[in-house]
Amino acid sequence: MSTTVELTKENFDQTVTDNEFVLIDFWADWCGPCKQFAPVYEKAAEANPDLVFGKVDTEAQPELAAAFGIQSIPTLMIVRDQVAVFAQPGALPEAALTDVIGQARKLDMDQVRQQIAEQQAQQGENPGA
């Protein structure tokens, strides 16, 4: 049985809202690197049962891919407390994926939200900067 959740426009918001830590693999069936990354992603899902591992088929869910500006696949995104804290195209090797998950687990989300608020405030002061 797969430990990943298929994310669609119908369940995406609910999944991200209801879970503190969600990893999202944007992929397509025709994509060779996506198929190579799939078993690495599944293995990470099995090793981290406390996290939600979702997959977005960009062919079946073009609205989701467009909403996140996905330009190339596979793209891995990590969302913590409804904040995207990581997004990177390319298939990650197992060790790199483990490292990224570890780093995302260690993030102080209060600090992340503060940094985002500061950046938004600066952009408000300098429109077009």
Q: State whether the Cα torsion 98-101-107-112 is positive or negative.
A: positive
The one catalytic residue among 16, 24, 34, 51: 34
Strand, helix or coil for residue 31: coil
Q: Is 28 a catalytic residue?
A: no
Q: Helices 32-47 & 94-106, crossing angle to 10 degrees?
A: 50
Q: Is 31 a catalytic residue?
A: yes
Strand, helix or coil for residue 12: helix
The one catalytic residue among 31, 38, 40, 52: 31
Distances (CA, A) of 39 to 6, 30, 34, 50: 15, 16, 9, 18
Which among 21, 11, 29, 16 has a CA at the least distance from the CA of 37? 29
Which residues participate in catalysis according to the annotation? 31, 34
